[in-house]
A and B are shown apart, each in its own frame.
Chain A
Amino acid sequence: MSEEKYYVPEQSALPIFCATAMGVMAFGAANWVIDGGDGKIFLVGLALMTIVMYKWWSLVIEENMQGLVSPQLKHSYVLGMLWFIFSEVMFFAAFFGALFYVRVFVNAWIGGEASVALFDSTPTDAATANNDILWPGYERQWPVMETPDQAVNGDEAIFKGPDKNMSLPLWEYPASQWFSKLYTLLPWLPLWNTVILLSSSFTVHFAHMALKEGNRNVFLRYLGITVILGFFFLCLQVAEYYEAYVHYGLTLQSGIYGTTFFMLTGFHGAHVTLGTGMLLIQLIRGLKGHFSHEDQFGFEAASWYWHFVDVVWLGLFIVVYIFG
């Protein structure tokens, strides 16, 4: 073991340019959202960031091709990626947690019900006061189609609920008819999105298997299919958002339902975009012949990310759509 030499990279100008880009982007983004500001500074930062990222990844790939990346360093990359994914999980946890809290507790309290039956089902004074004094007329409901604001202020309300929501269409019918109404699920986009994303998790896995076996063509084919599926998913999501805004009256502003719906699916969509981008880069690298059956970290990292995005979607599908 003591024969082994440690690898330490030379100093590098990339990180500080990256930090500068982040600083400019942060400042520019704040400037942009404030009335009277504009997005120019942000775009400058973004341009700088794009250049830095391109250079940085090229450098890492270059080092890898030159065999400078020791097994130990490679393992550090693996750990880095896995813990990064864990941090992403926690980011989503914050939004899922918010949804849970609002649905289970807040909604009941504003509606004058005690809280959850789990603890206590008799309304407390505080809960009834919440309803009697602050939001009279609001009834506990999910999805929130009529906001507390509407319950009190009617058409004057600032926060108006949507006309239609995204939940499973079957809920509109009594349980006895569910079976006969199954066909209503056919045009339901989230179902198709689930099918697409789930299959893409399989195709990326097949690509991985093929790569391990050194079967380059199969690898490229499955990876290509995965990227296309990711792209399809995004198209359908755009269609869904269009539908929501134009036909359902469901927007980011339509009360807590619109808020949680768009924030959760939106952040997920952003991550799908990122994941598709990562896989696309791996596809290009694959076409250039960068991978061998024992050296494939870049691809593996992207595929872990893809599986993570997929799992988040399953959570969304259950919580936001089926039981939405």
Chain B
Amino acid sequence: MAHGPAEGITRWLYTTNHKDIGTLYLWFSFAMFLTGGFFAMVIRAELFQPGVQLVQPEFFIQMTTMHGLVMVFGAIMPAFVGLANWMIPMMIGAPDMALPRMNNLSFWILPFAFAILISTLFMEGGGPNFGWTFYAPLSTTYAPDSVNYFIFAVHIMGASSIMGSINIIATVMNMRAPGMTYMKMPLFVWTWLITAFLLVAVMPVLAGAVTMMLMDINFGTSFFNAAGGGDPVLFQHVFWFFGHPEVYIIILPAFGVVSQIIPTFSRKPLFGYSSMVYATAAIAFLSFVVWAHHMFTVGMPIAGELYFMYATMLIAVPTGVKVFNWITTMYRGAITYETPMLFCIAFVILFTFGGFTGLMLSVAAADIQYHDTYFVVAHFHYVMVAGAVFSGTAAVYYWLPKWCGRMYDETMGKLQFWLAFIAFNITFMPQHFLGLAGMPRRYADYGLQFADWNMVSSVGAFLYGGAQILFLYNVVRTIMHGEPVKEAKVWEGAEGLEWLVPTPAPYHTFTKPPVVISGAAGEDEWSISGATPHVAFKASPEAG
């Protein structure tokens, strides 16, 4: 086995190292985050004032479509896969991911998939113009030719996700150090295990959906065409059977991150560890049976409306369990407010807010009013941006010192946090009001009565974009000339195997399984927050 990283570019191209691959995922996702962010800036610039100013409606809708696709599949998902790659093997005492070559393959598919997807913008007839949910027949009968590139891009990125998640499942099930039983795993590992299961279950369904589209467009089938006996609504069912679990695929790893960070900066074990695990599993299970809450206005039998309404509301219960556990963890803790903690506290507040708007939307009768308005846009940005993106940012600040052995600039981190927090709310809070007042989503123009809040929202969006540049600057500065950190345990209150290995983490963390000692947590030992009885691990990391 090679002791250190290979020299030159092949280190990145041919790597089988989980840390290298994690780094690749993270940088790729950040690049996509900026790309998707650029599309968002185009959208908000156009919506700054009523009337059509900057871009034509045809292009505007391509921007909203691409923004959604790139952010969901290119930015958020790969970011958490990157974190999984870096952290899971370190957290469970594994030498690497279970299937390292497939790991490399999963990553390198993504640049190809997104190159194909983004190139559609420059094709004849334009790029996908049917929204990120690509409803038929907009995406079939009335779609531009480039939809075929979109379909195959989705196919290969789905293959990437499936392989990536199989790898995570195999790693967690098979590579845990002796003594690392399931109920002692850090929550980040747990949430990822369940997320990976969701991915293996629903990515193939997405593949099925785009395959049906492909056939309808090119080979004369009639899945989504009532003339032949099919139904466009069938598309929505298949899509949302994938789509709703997908939103939990996005948020569950974020829950995991928050469950790691809050105990650290509260200097208390996580409250209710096992209830967190069960709540995660319950959410995952429920996410399979609520999909049609996205379709309340499509014309379902009343029994369907009722069922999907109540089932959806049920999800608020395990979600509530999690929120209360985080709050109780902080309760009477010796809290300090470093940047990762600030992002996590904001996460808890804003995600809960988004959960409540979700609950409003789940009322079928009320949703007839809210559906396809900016209220929905506000809802899902509260859960996806203040939820997933905030927690991803928190994770980067939290683990960056461990990754590169250098400390970020705390002042700049806090500055970025406050800028992001305020700008986020300026951007999306007004969209609730716009939606309730009836402004529909996905239009380039709007009535004059919506002008003020739209301008506010656009200003917020530009500020939020600026905060990301600050983030990039802070991270790059840290890697290049941050203050060196030597302690294995970078944060005073941090617990877990990853804080026992040297800082920066060696290229190969473990060459032998770490030794497990049962007993009280002590000096060189480590206990998993909240797990009872306390079980300590003694790591015997060997660099190289």
Q: Which residues of A contact B (CB under 8 A)?
A: 1-16, 18-20, 22-23, 25-27, 29-30, 33-35, 56, 72-73, 75-77, 79-80, 83-84, 86-88, 90-91, 93-95, 97-98, 101-102, 106-107, 109-110, 114-115, 119-120, 124, 126, 134-135, 144, 147-149, 157-159, 252-253, 255-259, 262-263
Residues in chain B near residue A56, CB distance under 8 A: 101
Q: Whole-angstrom distance from the CB of A211 to the nearest CB of chain B?
A: 24
Q: 7 A-B residue contacts at CB 8 Å? A: A16-B13, A19-B108, A79-B166, A79-B174, A87-B162, A159-B229, A255-B222
Known: A11-B14, A19-B108. A26 touches B200 (CB 8 A): no
Separation of A271 and B174 alpha carbons in the complex (Å): 28
Known: A11-B10, A86-B201, A148-B226. A33 touches B108 (CB 8 A): no
Separation of A9 and B99 alpha carbons in the complex (Å): 9
Q: Is B55 an interface residue (CB 8 A)?
A: no
Separation of A255 and B231 alpha carbons in the complex (Å): 11
CB nearest neighbor in B for A20: B112
Known: A76-B98, A120-B301. A16 touches B14 (CB 8 A): yes
Residues in chain B near residue A16, CB distance under 8 A: 13-14, 104-105, 108
Give me 12 other A-B pairs in contact (C-beta within 8 A), A83-B166, A253-B220 excluded.
Answer: A6-B512, A11-B14, A12-B14, A19-B112, A26-B116, A33-B218, A79-B169, A94-B205, A94-B207, A159-B229, A257-B229, A263-B215
Most chain A CB neighbours (cut-off 10 Å) among B13, B15, B233, B510: B13
Residues in chain B near residue A22, CB distance under 8 A: 109, 112, 156, 159
- B205 to A2, Cβ gap below 8 A? no
Q: Whole-angstrom distance from the CB of A223 to the nearest CB of chain B?
A: 27
Known: A26-B153, A134-B226, A257-B229. A11 touches B2 (CB 8 A): yes
- B222 to A90, Cβ gap below 8 A? no
Q: Is B95 an interface residue (CB 8 A)?
A: yes
- B155 to A80, Cβ gap below 8 A? no
Residues in chain A near residue B166, CB distance under 8 A: 79-80, 83-84, 87
Q: Whole-angstrom distance from the CB of A130 to the nearest CB of chain B?
A: 9
CB nearest neighbor in B for A149: B227
CB nearest neighbor in A for B238: A94
- B241 to A97, Cβ gap below 8 A? yes
Separation of A34 and B207 alpha carbons in the complex (Å): 19
Per-residue interface assignment for chain B, residues 1 to 18, with 1 indicating a CB less than 8 Å from any chain A CB and 0 otherwise: 110001000110111110
CB nearest neighbor in B for A126: B299
Known: A16-B14, A23-B156, A107-B229. A256 touches B215 (CB 8 A): no
Q: Is B498 an interface residue (CB 8 A)?
A: no
- A83 to B170, Cβ gap below 8 A? yes
Separation of A7 and B99 alpha carbons in the complex (Å): 11
Q: Whole-angstrom distance from the CB of A169 to the nearest CB of chain B?
A: 23
**Residues of B71-117 contacting chain A, CB below 8 A:** 94-96, 98-102, 104-105, 108-109, 112-113, 115-116
Q: Is B209 an interface residue (CB 8 A)?
A: yes
**Residues of B149-208 contacting chain A, CB below 8 A:** 149, 151-153, 155-156, 159, 162, 165-167, 169-171, 173-175, 178, 200-205, 207-208
CB nearest neighbor in B for A74: B174
Known: A6-B512, A87-B204, A88-B204. A30 touches B105 (CB 8 A): no
Q: Whole-angstrom distance from the CB of B415 to the nearest CB of chain A?
A: 39
Q: Which of A1, A29, A35, A95 contacts B178 (CB 8 A)?
A: A1
Residues in chain A near residue B201, CB distance under 8 A: 86-87, 90
- A259 to B223, Cβ gap below 8 A? yes
Q: Whole-angstrom distance from the CB of B327 to the nearest CB of chain A?
A: 36
Separation of A314 and B540 alpha carbons in the complex (Å): 52
**Residues of B224-244 contacting chain A, CB below 8 A:** 225-231, 233-234, 237-238, 241
Q: Is B409 an interface residue (CB 8 A)?
A: no
Separation of A259 and B540 alpha carbons in the complex (Å): 59
Residues in chain B near residue A18, CB distance under 8 A: 105
Residues in chain A near residue B219, CB distance under 8 A: 252-253
Separation of A5 and B220 alpha carbons in the complex (Å): 57
